[in-house]
Structure 1
Amino acid sequence: MTDTGATKPPRILIVGGGYVGLYTAMRLGKKLRGQEATVTVVDPRSYMTYLPFLPEAAGGNVADRNLVAPLRPALNRAEVVTGHVVAVDHSRRTATVMPPAGDGYELGFDYLVVATGSVSRTFPIPGLAEHAIGLKTVEEAISLRNHVLWQLDKADSTTDPEIRRKALTFVFVGGGFAGVEAVGEVEDMARDAAKNYRNISRDDMRFVLVEAAHRILPEMGPDLGVWTKEKLEERGVEVYLNTSMKSCTDRCVVLKNGVETPASTIVWTAGVKPSPVLSAFGLPLGPRGHIDTAATLQVQGMNHVWSAGDNAQVPDLAVGEGAWCPPNAQHACRQATVLADNVIARLRGRPQKEYRHKNLGAVASIGLHKGVAIMFGKFRLKGRSAWWFHRLYHGAMMPTMNRKLRVFLDWTLATFLRRETVGLPEMARPRDAFVEAAHPESVLQLADRSS
């Protein structure tokens, strides 16, 4: 009798390497036995971004490399593939992968976890796509930091009042966690940076926060939302509620309440939506484009597919019938644990468990030594104590010990050293210097025009 070789273990394919993808793969790596299954993670980026630190990165309190967790070192028991999954064939159990180079190919799977996450939710506002910047990636956060500091350089170098006014006006649209934390951190950074300039003071700057609802930080409750608004206004931030941005053509921001101002910096943090690639995955979607899942995180009507996080519509059993889990890191990390255990249970023919998690609270930083927090729905913190709690909580939640230590080291050094306020706007165009060296006539032409 000829030995045909051992049967290949089933493949668990995880599409996405964010919160759900990373934590699910880590859990599977710990719980699977030997060659019980192969875990493959596909993501266009080779790292997971810890999103709550993006505002701090924009403010210069966390280094960009320290708020990302590289997938390959963190998932040494899994296969990590860099590329986009652009289609899924459930009848054949294959996914089409487009790598950064070369032709696309099919990757077979036995079990599928969809964790593509979310993207910025935008609207057809004139000028928005051309002039605004989001805050969903580490690249956007660092670009925002460099851009803001470059606006200070620009304003300091000219006496033209219109140029200065435009450069020193910063508009943030969206009063949720991302928008409030971003305006707080960036205002803090700009205030510190202004001390290094002879011709700029904080009084020359204008910070605007726009929110369509009647309050900011709705997850915190009305009292902490009001307190946060008051503290931002004490720092000179203009907060407009019950309004939205009408247009920002040519970097001229027009609000629906009639306020109009030129602004070189427009930050868009007005919510998120599921990744649009889901439409090619052949999955049942809810009214807002989320994957429709059961409380077990298994996709409705599909016994080989699971989903969780921002791209999923997960019943919130702790709240009650008809409620859905909000798209935040707290739920995503805990859903990933249950999801991984349920995939293993399906693999071993055991019953799956339902996801149930009572909200532990929420924390938000609004600048150095300033924050708000609510714990277990009862205890509320404001100011420095909330800021410390914010740092301890998110520092502990940062994946991998390597990144935890680096983040806490950043914070420790910042305790004894002044904030670093050097901007590197040229990073967005790294080849400019080389091109100028190769074509010196372009530099001479610029000098002629300025003389």
Structure 2
Amino acid sequence: MPKILIVGGGYAGFYTAWKLEKWLRRGEAEVTVVDPLPYMTYQPFLPEVAAGSIEARHAVVSQRRHLKKTTVITAKVTHINHAEKKATITPAVGESWDFDYDIVVVTGGAVSRTFPIPGVADQAIGLKTIEEAVAIRDRVLENFDKAASLPAGPERARLLNFVVVGGGFAGIEVFAELRSFASSLLKFYPQLSFDDVEFHLIEAMGRIMPEVSLKTSHWVLKNLAERGALVHLDTQLQSAVDGKIELSTGEKFESDLIVWTAGVMANPQIVRNTDLPIEERGRLVVRPDLRVGTDDEIIADAWGAGDISAVRDLSGGGVGGFCVPNAQHAVRQGKLMAKNIVAVLRGEEPKEYMHKNLGAVAGLGIGVGVFQSGKIAIKGSLAWLAHRGYHGLAMPSWERKLRVVGGWVANFFLGRDIVGITAVQTPREAFETFASRPKPAAKPAEEAPAVKKAPARKSAAAAAEPEAVAASK
């Protein structure tokens, strides 16, 4: 029975395995998914997780719960030797081992792409994982708690200055969601005012959200300005050492939270450790039918999809002629790739991936959103409902859909949960602080020179005792 190895359990990998379970006949192939995390993260929900609108666990999908016929291995693939059809699997605990496969599917996704700007690696946080979104939310709440007990001054301003770097879809969404979140918190902190909280978005280009029209992007800028959020266009971050922000315009201020959303790159742990072909931008070379290779050469039994792959956009709408790295493409590529793998196993021809962009929809905080499809643009509450409706339906499995929508309904009546649990980052701190510890062992006494003891002095009664005995005789 052929062994299919799926490297990565994100959008493309999860959907490939999910659909293979549906379309493979019993005994037709054995599927294994290897990913360092035991869940798939629905990344379009990360801004809402950061803003407290969605419970973090509801924005991830358990691989073991939903991939019932697939072997799930929680580990890293640290090398792919396709010439010998071997992959090195490295778990978090224990020794690495080689996995023999017949077909490999590379869907390792992407990671945050940064630049060597002083302080960014030490101070900033990305927005690619659920853990990062939770940390952002908890930091905002913690900073409000700290600032409320401080007088007006530089330290309080630092705690209430929030910075987002990158004006693409992810950057604008988390920026607007956090602005909405911060505004809603003020009623619980009478010590703080609206003017005490500052939001800065730094974008190197002259516009934001290239996925929408220029007119729509201008509406977003106006809406953000009305909500007290500052957008710095044609501006580069030059330094963030110790949270001290220095911009190319000369402006300087301090911030305790810097969110980096300025681009992604193919997972380097995978593309740098394989003999499969990699193009100049560090992505896997993939044909339109999602097989690895070029028009002239096919790498047999190797497939790729999602953010890690350079797939030509046959619709003509891609950047540089390739599909952009987003969930819309990754999900659809994963579904088609599963069909194509089954087709090739049965001696049939695979189909080419062709998907015309349906448009772009973004949530900008409670009740505010934008939607763009061709020349049609919708703004405001209707676009926000479209955003929630689309992503609510796109969330895989009814179990996850119900949890997300149930949370939205609860928030509508009860409001957002504003409890931050920052101590989860150091869960043993409270226990360690008060835990009893064994007393240190007594050190052996050092040998001292012998000292002659003086004879003990007798009491008066003891001295008189011999005389009394003699008199009685």
Tell me, yes or no, if structure 1 residue 135 matches structure 2 residue 127: yes
Determine which of 80, 103, 126 is the counterpart of 2:95: 103
RMSD over aligned Cα atoms: 1.2
Q: What corresponds to 1:3 in structure 2?
A: none
Deviations along 1:216-262, one digit per CA (max 9) or x if unpaired, are: 11101211111101100110101011111000011101111111101
1:264-413 aligned at under 5 Å gives the runs 264-277=256-269, 278-300=271-293, 301-319=298-316, 323-375=321-373, 377-413=374-410
Partner of 1:150: 142
The alignment status of 1:63 with 2:52, answered yes or no, reads no
Aligned residue for 1:240?
232
Render the CA deviation track for 1:186-220: whole Å, top value 9, x for unaligned.
11111111211121122101100111111111101
Q: Deviations over 1:377-399 (max 9, x none)?
A: 13211000000000000000001
SS at match of 2:246: strand
> C-alpha separation between the residues in 2 aligned to 1:75 and 1:320?
33
Contact 2:317 2:357 in 1 (8 A): no
Amino acid at match of 1:237: A
Confirm or deny: 8 A CA contact 1:365 1:390 kept in the other structure.
yes
TM-score (norm 2): 0.90
Q: How does 1:8-27 map to 2 (within 5 A)?
A: 9-27=1-19
Pairing of 1:39-118 with structure 2 (within 5 A): 39-118=31-110
Would the aligned equivalents of 1:195 and 1:201 in 2 still touch at CA under 8 Å?
A: no
- Point out where structure 1 has 5 or more consecutive residues left out of the alignment: 1-8, 441-451
Q: What is the one-letter code of the residue matched to 1:368?
A: I
Tell me which amino acid in the other structure corresponds to 1:78: T
CA contact (8 A) 2:285 2:310 kept: yes
Bigger radius of gyration among the two:
2
Asked whether the equivalents of residues 292 and 303 of structure 2 are also in contact (C-alpha less than 8 Å), the reply is yes
Relative to 1, partners in 2 of residues 1:230 and 1:160: Cα closer, same or farther, differing over 3 Å?
Answer: closer
Answer yes or no: is the 8 Å Cα contact 1:189–1:421 preserved in 2: no
Q: Following the alignment from structure 1 to structure 2, what is the Cα–Cα distance between the partners of residues 33 and 295?
A: 26
Q: Alpha-carbon deviation of 1:144?
A: 0.3
- Bigger Cα displacement from structure 2, 427-436 vs 32-41: 427-436
Give how far 1:358 is off: 0.7
Aligned to 1:254: 246
Q: Who is 1:125 aligned against? A: 117
Which of 166, 177, 180 is the equivalent residue of 2:172? 180
Check the 8 A contact 2:75/2:91 in 1, yes or no: yes
For 1:219 and 1:47, the matched residues in 2 are separated by 29
Q: Is the 8 A contact 1:46 1:82 kept in 2?
A: yes
- The 2-side partners of 1:199 and 1:338 are apart by 55
Q: Say whether 1:212 aligns with 2:210.
A: no
Judge conservation of contact 1:188–1:368 (CA < 8 Å) in 2: yes
Query: Does 2:162 correspond to 1:170?
Result: yes
| Contact kept? 1:111, 1:305, Cα under 8 Å | yes
The answer to whether the 8 A contact 2:83-2:275 is kept is no
* Partners of 1:358 and 1:176 in 2: CA distance: 20
CA-to-partner distance for each residue in 1:387-424, whole Å, 9 max, x for gaps? 00000000000011100000000111111112221221
User: C-alpha distance in 1, partners of 2:80/2:35?
Assistant: 15
Alignment partner, residue 415 of structure 1: 412
Structure 1 CA distance for aligned equivalents of residues 219 and 111 of structure 2: 30
Aligned-partner Cα distance in 1 for 2:379–2:400? 27
* Residue 345 to residue 83, structure 1, CA distance change in 2 (3 Å): same
Between the aligned partners of 2:378 and 2:83, the Cα distance in structure 1 is: 52
Secondary structure at 2:323 match in 1: coil
**Offset at residue 438 of structure 1 (A):** 2.3
- Overall identity of the aligned pairs, in %: 46
The answer to whether the 8 A contact 2:107-2:304 is kept is yes
The structure 1 segments of at least 4 consecutive aligned residues displaced by more than 2 Å after TM superposition are none
CA gap of 1:117–1:188, structure 2 versus 1, over 3 A, is same
String of CA shifts for 1:318-358, please: whole Å, max 9, x gaps.
Answer: 11796101111111111111111111122111111111011
Aligned equivalent of 1:35 = 27
Give 1:382's aligned amino acid: K
Question: For residue 448 of structure 1, what is the aligned residue in structure 2?
Answer: none
Q: How far did 1:439 drift?
A: 7.0
User: Mean alpha-carbon deviation: is it higher for 317-326 or for 98-107?
Assistant: 317-326
Cα distance between partner residues in 2 of 1:213 and 1:233: 18
**Structure 2: gaps (5+ residues):** 438-473
From 414, 428, 432, the equivalent of 1:431 is: 428
CA–CA separation in structure 1 for the residues paired with 2:221 and 2:257: 21
User: TM-score w.r.t. structure 1 length?
Assistant: 0.94
